[in-house]
Amino acid sequence: MMREAFAGLAAVQAPFVFTQSNLQDFDRCPRRFYLRWIARIEWPQTALSRDHEMDLLHRSRFHRLVQQWLLNISVSHIIESEPADSPLRLWWQAFLDHPPSLPAGPRFPEVELAAPMGEHVLLARMDLLAVEPRRRLTIFDWKTGLFYPQLDQLRESWQTVVYRYLAVEAGAPYFGEPAVPADAVEMIYWFSEYPATPLILPYSAEEHASAKERLRERIAHIASLPADGFTPCEDERTCVLCPYWGYCGRSKSEEVLAGADITAGQADEWDWSDIPEFEY
Ligand code: SF4
């Protein structure tokens, strides 16, 4: 009886915090969005995900290293204590050999920006916001995934869309003017595997208008779904690295595993997960 009473009700409760991480989860698999961000089922460990979890830990530590370095805190003792073959050592050396070109001016590592989206909230935590007051806001993101994305793929990603949108909508206190013009914002991705070739994405008023519409539509759609509207993804290869597979009756069959390189992530999508932006 109670079950019937809730049938058809929207599963998302306002105010819900949308992020690039959960928007991307929805694109990959609506069911995963539900389990992780609405039902709040703890991220389960599985034998197949253990290596992946360790990889995420290394990536998270690299982000902390860069944050410390940006705050002028020495990190050399941390690097020296790492095993010779630690990915952390390799990534840090790449960072030192090919550092991103940081503009002069205030730097805000791990800064959070948020803006309302109707009755919900859009939130981002940026690896670094570099400020040239009243002139430019540059968002930096450190990527430690194996794949070098196409520029178009990068431009259309939820991370780029959300971060640049929020720099305009919520970046004014950093910029130093009442409003941030879209063309004063740019985003730079630096890649540990390709440190000499960062990708730079400038922004424009047209892109900002398009981002606003895309975000509004997607958030309205997600917020309208009842619990049973968050359906499992169709492509079972998406499930290979998903820790929730036990909840979905998705087996790690030989056939499915053969189509995916577990250690490298899914070849057809750059590993946007990198480190989870928020886990709360
Ligand atoms: S196991 Fe597959 S269907 Fe289930 S939540 Fe994960 S990606 Fe979605």
| Nearest-10 crossing angle of helices 50-70, 87-97 | 40
Cβ density class 48-75: b for 16+ within 10 Å, e for less: ebeebeebbebbebbbebbbebbeeeee
* pLDDT at residue 264, as a whole number: 39
For the chain, the structural domain boundaries read 13-258
* pLDDT at residue 146, as a whole number: 79
Beta bridge partners of 226: 10
Per-residue pLDDT band for 58 (boundaries 50, 70, 90) equals confident
Q: Does the C-beta of 229 come closer than 6 Å to ligand 1?
A: no
Q: Does the C-beta of 248 come closer than 6 Å to ligand 1?
A: yes
Q: 131 phi and psi, to 5 degrees?
A: -115, 125
Atom of ligand 1 nearest to the CA of 238: 7
Q: What is the pTM of this model?
A: 0.88
What is the CA(38)–ligand 1 centre distance, in A? 14
pLDDT digits (tens, 9 = 90+) for 258-267: 544 443 344 3
Q: Does domain 13-258 have CATH number 2.60.40.10?
A: no
Atom of ligand 1 nearest to the CA of 36: 5
| 195/61 Cα distance (integer angstroms) | 18
- Mutate which of 242, 256, 273 for ligand 1? The one with the most ligand atoms within 8 Å of its CB, which is 242
* pLDDT at residue 201, as a whole number: 97
Q: Does the C-beta of 35 come closer than 6 Å to ligand 1?
A: yes
What is the CA(142)–ligand 1 centre distance, in A? 27
| 121/104 Cα distance (integer angstroms) | 31
What is the CA(280)–ligand 1 centre distance, in A? 20
